[in-house]
Structure 1
Amino acid sequence: MFVFCIESSHARGMGHLFRSLTLATELRSRGHSVLFLANDHPNSLRIIRERGFDVALYDLASVTGWENGFIEPDASSSVWINDRLNTQRSHSEAIKHLGAKLVTFDDRGDGAELADINICALLFEKTEGLRGKDVRLGVEYMILNPEIAAYRRIRQSLASILVTLGGADTYGVTVRVAKWLTSKSFPVTIVTGPSFQHMAELEGVVATAAPGRFKLLNQVPSLAAEMHGHDLAITGGGVTPFEACAAGLPCVVIANEPFEIPVGRALEELGAAFFAGHHSAFDLGILEKAIPIKSMSETAMAKVDLGGVGRVADLLERLAA
């Protein structure tokens, strides 16, 4: 049994949810049982159920003391997967006391020390002090949507821009990006997610632009398929820019949170993206210059592969054995 404990909301964002769903789908395809535990966020609960997974609620305010109801009596082959960032030690101790294995993601909490595996594919600075019995660093452990494999291509020139800033876009960065782009000549498609709460403001900005300049899409059936039609993406600093790069789509990264700043810088160092700064003071001036789209596209596809979900699933299977 694999138990995914996630936090997903407008404030937290939905990246943890979608990463866990991708990994859970891979484990289910290998014949394993999966249970989701999630905070009370209706959009997230709906998405989990639509993907065919069982989900139970837990109380975000309760650090520990509730875990035993979700672990099978013979817990030796159970794996508890925390995708909530910083795990507190008392919670980790509760999981270990139940006899389950513990896996965490990008975890800098004091509970990470007790994790059997701490997978840190999104951490690019101050990694020396990361804790866990087995700490896995590197882009090769990035969990990306395998559907992207059908939509990979080398871009040749800049003809269309995609703006996709997460399932929630907590700070309404999409609106400010749209304002900046209203005076530019590129066709722009903006994709918003299931917890986007700034639609009226965004529609007001788009209404001031020339007809046909913007295309607004909400909750597209497949972001991978939508990415295929564009030559550059403006994204946040989570998993999305890596999915874009795996598809051969260069990015301009805007950090929504401080911990996303090193992600943007790392992708820029790879040669697959430009980093536009933190959302409080981003700079899209790079779009006013000649962008080497083809070479960036080739680099992106070469540096970011789609094997991460399989590598992580292999680690989890060995842990559960």
Structure 2
Amino acid sequence: MPAHAEWLGASQEQDAMACASILRALHPDWLVVDHYALDIRWETVQRPYCRKLVIIDDLADRRHDCDFLLDQTFGRREEDYQHLVPQKSVLLCGSRYALLRPEFAQWRPYSLARRKLPQLEHLLIALGGVDRINATGQILDALIAGCLPDKCRISVVMGETAPWLSQIQHKAAQLSWSTSVLIGVTDMARLMADSDLAIGAGGATSWERCCLGLPTLLVVVADNQLAVARNLEQFGAARIMSYGALDDGNFVTQHLRDLQGNPQAMASMTHAAASAVDGKGVERVMHVLCQGQ
């Protein structure tokens, strides 16, 4: 049974039969599946009702029945899946296949050019639209210690449904720096490109920040983010701050002081991040899929 089986809200067998009745009528050329709770048992049921089956995964912890498998995780290798998929399956592994919206590639030249002279004048805090554990609040509490340059400004990104939103707005108003709480951001690529340092969560936004060469203090809030975070840190593209460490405000402020006093470290993170993701992942994936039609 998949480790995340409870996320489905039903058994695989029940869900497979419900979906099969729909796919039988549609009979799509391509079926793309992206769900931690599904594996070979669900996929085999759908096989007769689609021409090609594509799996998106990043756990490499269960068997699949597919024609193509995409895992855009930095450091992921084909060998990680070879015992989990049919021999004929095409494996697209690694962050060179990261699926980013086109605006990230568009903003990449500008973003990289402005980082040639590293500085810390704009801090971006984006820890997920919901941030149920209020990691954002703990970061803002730590900033009260005065660990940023006087001329720095702060942008905090939140979602409209974030349970701590009003508290975050109140905390932001108390800070010594110009701080904006941005809700429902639709131009994240531009915002990242105009930022000098990010405090961000794991997940797909890691590839967005890398594409733009944005140095990052990476907050790990879930076990399935840890392996990716460690790979990025070892590569030099980010520094890890585990959620538990946020209780110690000194841990946060020390990282910030270290980076603002070390432009070379900022430049090194930019170089590593930008080399991990170039924004052309969609083109590469589409080229392979079109060849496999």
Output the TM-score relative to the length of structure 1. 0.72
Other-structure match for 1:161: 123
Other-structure match for 1:288: 257
Task: Verify the 8 A CA contact 2:199 2:218 in the aligned structure 1.
Answer: yes
1:162-311 alignment to 2 at 5 Å? Answer: 162-184=124-146, 185=148, 186-210=152-176, 212-277=177-242, 279-282=243-246, 283-284=251-252, 285-289=254-258, 290-291=261-262, 292-311=265-284
What is the CA-CA distance between 1:306 and the residue it aligns to? 0.8
Task: Give distance in 1, aligned partners of 2:18 and 2:123.
Answer: 46
What is the CA-CA distance between 1:305 and the residue it aligns to? 0.4
Change in CA separation of 1:70 and 1:312 when aligned onto 2, cut-off 3 Å: farther
Task: Give distance in 2, aligned partners of 1:308 and 1:125.
Answer: 14
Q: Report how many aligned residue pairs link the two structures.
A: 260
What is the CA-CA distance between 1:199 and the residue it aligns to? 0.4
Task: Give distance in 1, aligned partners of 2:206 and 2:125.
Answer: 11
Aligned with 2:17: secondary structure? Answer: coil
Task: Verify the 8 A CA contact 1:158 1:293 in the aligned structure 2.
Answer: no
Q: Which has the larger radius of gyration?
A: 2
Aligned with 1:267: secondary structure? Answer: helix
What is the CA-CA distance between 1:98 and the residue it aligns to? 2.1
Other-structure match for 1:68: 20
Stretches of structure 2 lacking an aligned partner (at least 5 in a row) = 1-6
1:87-102 alignment to 2 at 5 Å? Answer: 87-102=38-53
> Which protein is richer in helix relative to its size?
2
Q: Does 1:121 align with 2:97?
A: no
Aligned with 2:16: secondary structure? Answer: coil
Task: Verify the 8 A CA contact 1:87 1:112 in the aligned structure 2.
Answer: no
Task: Give distance in 2, aligned partners of 1:146 and 1:70.
Answer: 32
Change in CA separation of 1:169 and 1:207 when aligned onto 2, cut-off 3 Å: same
Stretches of structure 1 lacking an aligned partner (at least 5 in a row) = 1-11, 13-58
Task: Verify the 8 A CA contact 2:159 2:183 in the aligned structure 1.
Answer: yes
Task: Give distance in 2, aligned partners of 1:102 and 1:73.
Answer: 16
What is the CA-CA distance between 1:182 and the residue it aligns to? 2.7
Q: Residue 287 of structure 1 aligns to which amino acid in structure 2? A: L
Structure 1 runs of 4+ with >4 Å offset:
107-111, 123-129
What is the CA-CA distance between 1:79 and the residue it aligns to? 1.5
Change in CA separation of 1:102 and 1:299 when aligned onto 2, cut-off 3 Å: same
Task: Verify the 8 A CA contact 2:128 2:158 in the aligned structure 1.
Answer: yes
What is the CA-CA distance between 1:128 and the residue it aligns to? 4.8
Other-structure match for 2:90: 134
What RMSD over aligned residues (CA atoms) do the two structures have, in Å?
Answer: 2.7
Change in CA separation of 1:163 and 1:137 when aligned onto 2, cut-off 3 Å: same
What is the CA-CA distance between 1:141 and the residue it aligns to? 1.1
1:130-167, Cα deviation, whole Å (9 max, x unpaired): 32233322111111222023322231212211011123
1:54-65 alignment to 2 at 5 Å? Answer: 60-61=9-10, 62-65=14-17
1:262-284, Cα deviation, whole Å (9 max, x unpaired): 1111112222211112x233442
Task: Give distance in 1, aligned partners of 2:238 and 2:59.
Answer: 26
Q: Residue 150 of structure 1 aligns to which amino acid in structure 2? A: Q
Task: Give distance in 2, aligned partners of 1:109 and 1:139.
Answer: 15
Task: Give distance in 2, aligned partners of 1:108 and 1:245.
Answer: 20
What is the CA-CA distance between 1:220 and the residue it aligns to? 1.4
Task: Give distance in 1, aligned partners of 2:163 and 2:75.
Answer: 30
Task: Verify the 8 A CA contact 1:71 1:78 in the aligned structure 2.
Answer: no
Q: Of the candidates 286, 290, 293, which is equivalent to residue 313 of structure 1? A: 286
Other-structure match for 1:9: none
